[in-house]
């Protein structure tokens, strides 16, 4: 693999924990999560962005220019993407540029956002578990005969289950068998 010379030590993020690949990029990531949460849930622009994300036609009907909000959101979202690339290259694991630089983190970020249901404060937890799953797949492939593609299948199943918004099929059938009424009105009347 063709690579550049190693970056000078002043251009590589310092390690937070000596002897590991945990560097100051972790602090940047936590600050970015908090900044995104604040921008989405504590500002008027964030409210407009969430409204456009839920229903762009209703936002347009209520006087919000949804096209402008969508384009500005995509433009602003490129900044954390660039920060991710800088942290990835300048971190303890690389410290140099390579040919065919790995483009997987952007796709994995989308997967993590889907599983976290677009809640910024849930992203670090989901990312930690996803990273554990990915690292475990590599170790499982090395130490056992299980191919690493199995983890890809498991990951796909997890994402499909979390991202799907349909209810369990046959819910009314099972409720009838068990002698329960599955309609919401029965639940409210039972609460009275």
Residues 138, 178, single domain; the answer is: yes
- Last residue within a domain, chosen from 102, 121, 136: 102
Residues 94, 121, single domain; the answer is: no
Give the Cα separation of 73 and 109 in Å (integer): 16
Residues 83, 169, single domain; the answer is: no
Q: Which residue has the higher pLDDT, 48 or 10?
A: 48
Mean pLDDT of 45-60: 91
Residues 79, 138, single domain; the answer is: no
pTM over 0.85: no
Tell me the average pLDDT of the chain.
Answer: 80
Q: Which residue has the higher pLDDT, 126 or 190?
A: 126
Residues 83, 117, single domain; the answer is: no
Mean pLDDT of 64-69: 92
- Give the percent of the chain with pLDDT over 70: 83
Residues 19, 83, single domain; the answer is: yes
pLDDT tens per residue across span 24-50? 888 988 999 999 999 999 999 999 999
pLDDT at 186: 47
Q: Which long-range contacts (CB under 8 A, 24 or more apart) does 90-94 make?
A: 90/7, 90/11, 90/12, 90/13, 90/25, 91/12, 91/13, 91/21, 91/23, 91/25, 92/12, 92/13, 92/15, 92/20, 92/21, 92/22, 92/23, 93/21
The least confident of 6-15, 39-48, 75-84, 88-97 is 88-97
- Give the percent of the chain with pLDDT over 90: 23
Residues 1, 41, single domain; the answer is: yes
SS3 137: helix
Q: Which residue has the higher pLDDT, 179 or 58?
A: 58
Residues 95, 126, single domain; the answer is: no
Residues 11, 96, single domain; the answer is: yes
Residues 60, 122, single domain; the answer is: no
**What's the number of domains the chain is made of?**
2
- Last residue within a domain, chosen from 102, 126, 151: 102
Residues 96, 33, single domain; the answer is: yes
Q: Which residue has the higher pLDDT, 189 or 127?
A: 127
pLDDT tens per residue across span 116-153? 888 899 999 998 988 888 888 778 778 887 777 887 78
Residues 192, 143, single domain; the answer is: yes
pLDDT at 168: 57
Mean pLDDT of 86-114: 74
Range of the structural domain that residue 30 is part of: 1-102
- Last residue within a domain, chosen from 102, 121, 146: 102
């Amino acid at each position: 693999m063709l690579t550049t010379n190693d970056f000078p030590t002043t251009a590589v993020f310092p390690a937070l924990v000596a002897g590991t690949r945990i560097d100051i990029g972790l602090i940047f990531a936590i600050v970015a999560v908090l900044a995104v949460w604040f921008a989405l849930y504590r500002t008027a622009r964030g409210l407009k962005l969430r409204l456009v994300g839920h229903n762009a036609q209703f936002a347009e009907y209520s006087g919000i220019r949804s096209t402008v909000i969508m384009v500005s959101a995509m433009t602003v979202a490129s900044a954390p993407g660039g920060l991710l690339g800088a942290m990835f290259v300048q971190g303890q694991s690389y410290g140099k540029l390579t040919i065919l630089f790995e483009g997987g983190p952007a796709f994995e970020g989308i997967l993590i956002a889907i599983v976290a249901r677009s809640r910024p404060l849930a992203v670090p937890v989901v990312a930690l578990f996803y990273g554990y799953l990915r690292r475990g797949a590599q170790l499982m492939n090395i130490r056992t005969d299980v191919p690493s593609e199995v983890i890809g299948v498991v990951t796909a199943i997890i994402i499909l289950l979390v991202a799907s918004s349909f209810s369990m099929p046959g819910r009314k059938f099972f409720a009838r068998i068990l002698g329960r009424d599955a309609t919401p009105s029965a639940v409210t009347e039972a609460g009275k």
